[in-house]
Structure 1
Amino acid sequence: MGEVRRTTTATPAAVWEVLANGWYYPAWVVGAARVRAVSSNWPAAGALLHHSVGAWPVLVNDRTESLRCEPERELVLLASVWPIGRAPVHLVLAPTTDGGCEIVMGEDVTEGPARLVPGPVRQVLFAPRNGETLRRLAYLAERRSA
């Protein structure tokens, strides 16, 4: 699983506020176009976030499931864009000595046709997208902290 990292001035609590609000998902996840529904217990394990990916008029409706949730520390999601594939996404928040936090994101496809792409190639493709995803997440959290 390839990882990208970003350090932000936002606290882990501020980053968690963004992650814990499923309606913010398309604001920070590159490729997500809209949210159609969010489980009332999001982001608890087992909760679902129904979303669409792509750009109008080519949108694919799918869902993301929360697999593990430790508030202000860790969130593991199972992201889907079926029939392309499914990928666990592991987000870890670690406080920094200056009061901000480091966000670490790991992702790799585990199901579907995208698995046919060699792992190193998948990681080269994921890294820029995931870097932009963390940039957006950090910006949203920093605005909440301001």
Structure 2
Amino acid sequence: MNRPVETVWALLSDPERYRTWVPGTVESTGRLGQWPQVGSALAYRVGVGRLTLPGRTVVRVCEPPTRLELEAILGKAGSARIAIRLTRWGRDTLVIVDEHPLRGPAASLHIAPFEFVLHLRHRLLLARLASAVEEAPPAPEREHAASGGGEHG
């Protein structure tokens, strides 16, 4: 992403912006605790058009500004672990997303077609995250230097 780690983290830490980068999230319906503290949660609806389901995402690990691990829960459909790591990459940020089903029917779907769909979802999530992050104005040059950023890291 063409922004420093702190800018990417600020977006991930903003519960009001969650649906801008998470595919399928159509509306936020509530919040528990102080996002993204461990144990805090966001409630929302996921789906397409009139076909939506209630969902909830709980923060399981929070290590600002480089690591956020979430559990996305979709009722009887089960849940998934989503680990997001941010790494300084010169002035920019390398974002790595790792998602695995934890519970429910999806937990047994480690098969090629499911993995392909998950791969497409990650590409969409990263594209949406990059778009949302890059809408933020770039940090002044002196902030990059103070944060250890630079052309070669």
Shared topology, TM-score over 0.5?
yes
Q: Is the 8 A contact 2:33 2:39 kept in 1?
A: no
RMSD: 1.3
Same amino acid, percent of matched pairs: 25
Q: Which amino acid aligns with 1:38?
A: R
Name the counterpart of 2:48. Answer: 55
RCO higher in structure (CA 8 A, sep ≥6): 1
Name the counterpart of 1:117. Answer: 109
Name the counterpart of 2:132. Answer: 140
Deviations 1:94-132 (A, max 9, x none): 0012x1100000001110011232344332110111111
Mapped pair 1:93 → 2:59 = no
TM-score (ref. length: structure 2): 0.84
Largest Rg, 1 or 2: 2
Alignment of 1:21-60 (within 5 A): 21-60=14-53
What secondary structure is seen at the aligned counterpart in 2 of 1:83? helix
Name the counterpart of 1:107. Answer: 99
What secondary structure is seen at the aligned counterpart in 2 of 1:45? coil
Measure the CA separation in 1 of the matches of 2:52 and 2:10: 27
Deviations 1:18-72 (A, max 9, x none): 1101111111001111111123410010001011100231111121000010111
Q: Is the 8 A contact 2:69 2:84 kept in 1?
A: yes
2:120 to 107, 121, 128: 128
Measure the CA separation in 2 of the matches of 1:48 and 1:120: 31
Mapped pair 1:12 → 2:5 = yes
Q: Which amino acid aligns with 1:85?
A: G
Name the counterpart of 1:3. Answer: none
TM-score (ref. length: structure 1): 0.88
Measure the CA separation in 1 of the matches of 2:44 and 2:62: 19
Runs of at least 5 residues in structure 1 that lack an aligned partner in the other structure: 1-7
Measure the CA separation in 2 of the matches of 1:136 and 1:120: 24
